[in-house]
Chains A and B, each alone.
Chain A
Amino acid sequence: MSGTTDGLDLIIFVALPAVAMVLAIVGFIHRYRNHDYSIVSPSSQFLEARRHFWALVPFHYGVLIALIIHLLAFLFPGLLLSWNANPFRLYLLETIALSAGLLTLTGLCTGLARRLTSVTFRRLTRGGDWLLLLLILIQVLTGVLVAIFHRWGSPWFAAAATPYLRSLLFLSPDLGFVAAAPLLIKIHIANAFILLAYLPYSKLVHAIVVPLFYLWRAPITYRWRTRR
């Protein structure tokens, strides 16, 4: 069905992922070779500051759950479709995914409000940080809207997005699976590729460090050793 696609689809589903993949790989190699100490996930002492806590913790747990569901649908589409074979289980999985999306959105909005209302934080936020926040906001918002209005996302991902993404990996893109997808889904996919491309050039690079133990370690608190 490759004939049903138009130019915009070719840009979104063929050119964009190709450029994104190359930019991500080149950028990561460059950063690793030249600034490898910047590929870190530094503590921002987040568990002790109240608004920061309610921004980062819900955001990261939400994102992790949502990402794991996406990854499962990509790696084990058959398993996911078998799980969904009972409508109750389908509804359960979709509810978990939507809740994770809303949790992420809650955290993101708290974080944005914190940055926007505090003069100190606004001064510390650079252009690249704002761009990253904007991209993540678009991604999370479209994801939540897709989950609500284009149900059901999990079997659609397993049956349509997974074969499309795999066709990309085999360098023979099959756009038939996604060409007829609603606009919101196309934005969600295109923005995901942009985020991938931007990953090694932004502080989002901390995601590949996988600081898993942050999830259960005791909070770190910095204190001055001397009275000032």
Chain B
Amino acid sequence: MRRPFGLKLVIAVVVLLSAPHLAGQNASTFFRTNCYSCHTIGGGRVTGPDLKGVLDRKDRAWLTNFIRNPKAVIDSGDSYALELMKEARNVIMPTVPGLDAAMAIALLDLIEEEGRLEESNFMGLQLSDTPISDEDVFRGQLIFTGRSRLLNRGPACISCHSVSNTGLLGGGRIGPDLTRVYERLGGRKALATWLLSPSSATMGSVFRDQPLAQNEIPLIAAFLEFHAKNSLEQPAATGATYFLLLGFCGVSFGLGAIAFTWRRRISRSLKSSTIER
């Protein structure tokens, strides 16, 4: 009988695939993947505060508790947590999956260790405050639309994101609209640091092995800054309508081609009862 064997095979494969990944991440990788998009160590404030010397500001017990569930501490009315939220322009730090007590302690050790270095490995991108140039915006647009292929071969921004009315049919809709992202994240430096280590689920995975290059980030940031400051409205939804119309044109063409190719398929000698079914 083959059935029991098949059943055993199903169970074996499911167990094999569903087995949780037991190998723990080290603190440095965890920080880069989950924290770096909003925090530097010694690189200054971005969306969240600079973590250099954070252990001088608060004790380990409070910090361990806070980083494991920031919202709960804020909701409890803790005055320091409320102050942090205000400084972050009311952005609440998300609860990071997989951040257990052991990882919280390891992260605090890492922050302490990196904070002692003159230049930590998590300084963020140091961008100048000079006004953006037209050339930077133009080069940023080339990167955004994919005309300049990303150095590490990642997908172009337009694959998933829209900015104003960039592109005839607009940008992607699977990711958030980026017209106002410069304001949402709180300026050039926060935006650039976020791009250095994107922490959203999809971008985190897609750009993990093919990150944006350090010289591409300021250009993309310049393009997004330009649109945040110059676009009055959110992009119109005309892209979807045009796209759908093009789709209907395509179907009409396909049906027409089928009708033309087989125009002589029905021979006059056939009985009508054979055809009309």
Is residue B130 within 8 Å, beta carbon to beta carbon, of the partner chain? no
The complex places the Cα of A86 from the Cα of B158 at a distance, in Å, of 10
B:175-201 near A, CB below 8 Å:
200-201
Q: Which residue of the partner chain B has the closest CB to A96?
A: B250
Is residue B240 within 8 Å, beta carbon to beta carbon, of the partner chain? yes
User: Is there an interface contact between B250 and A102, defined as CB atoms closer than 8 Å?
Assistant: yes
The complex places the Cα of A29 from the Cα of B5 at a distance, in Å, of 12
The complex places the Cα of A101 from the Cα of B208 at a distance, in Å, of 32
Is residue A127 within 8 Å, beta carbon to beta carbon, of the partner chain? no
Is residue A201 within 8 Å, beta carbon to beta carbon, of the partner chain? no
The complex places the Cα of A99 from the Cα of B255 at a distance, in Å, of 10
User: Is there an interface contact between B243 and A151, defined as CB atoms closer than 8 Å?
Assistant: yes
User: Is there an interface contact between B168 and A102, defined as CB atoms closer than 8 Å?
Assistant: no
Give the chain A neighbours of B9 by CB distance below 8 A.
Answer: 22, 26
A: contact size bracket: 35 or more
Assess A102 versus B18: contact at CB under 8 Å? Given A23-B10, A151-B173, A159-B155: no
Is residue A98 within 8 Å, beta carbon to beta carbon, of the partner chain? yes
Interface of A (DSSP majority class): helix
B:68-106 near A, CB below 8 Å:
97-98
Q: Which residue of the partner chain A has the closest CB to B259?
A: A54
Give the chain A neighbours of B10 by CB distance below 8 A.
Answer: 18-19, 22-23, 26
User: Is there an interface contact between B13 and A22, defined as CB atoms closer than 8 Å?
Assistant: yes
Shortest Cβ distance from A192 into chain B, in angstroms?
17
User: Is there an interface contact between B205 and A155, defined as CB atoms closer than 8 Å?
Assistant: no
Is residue A158 within 8 Å, beta carbon to beta carbon, of the partner chain? yes
B:210-256 near A, CB below 8 Å:
239-240, 243-244, 246-251, 253-255
Can you identify 28 A-B contacts, CB atoms within 8 angstroms? A1-B33, A3-B97, A18-B14, A47-B262, A50-B266, A52-B277, A57-B258, A57-B262, A81-B156, A87-B145, A87-B147, A87-B167, A87-B168, A94-B169, A95-B243, A98-B243, A98-B246, A99-B250, A100-B250, A106-B255, A148-B240, A151-B169, A151-B243, A156-B155, A174-B205, A179-B202, A180-B200, A221-B270
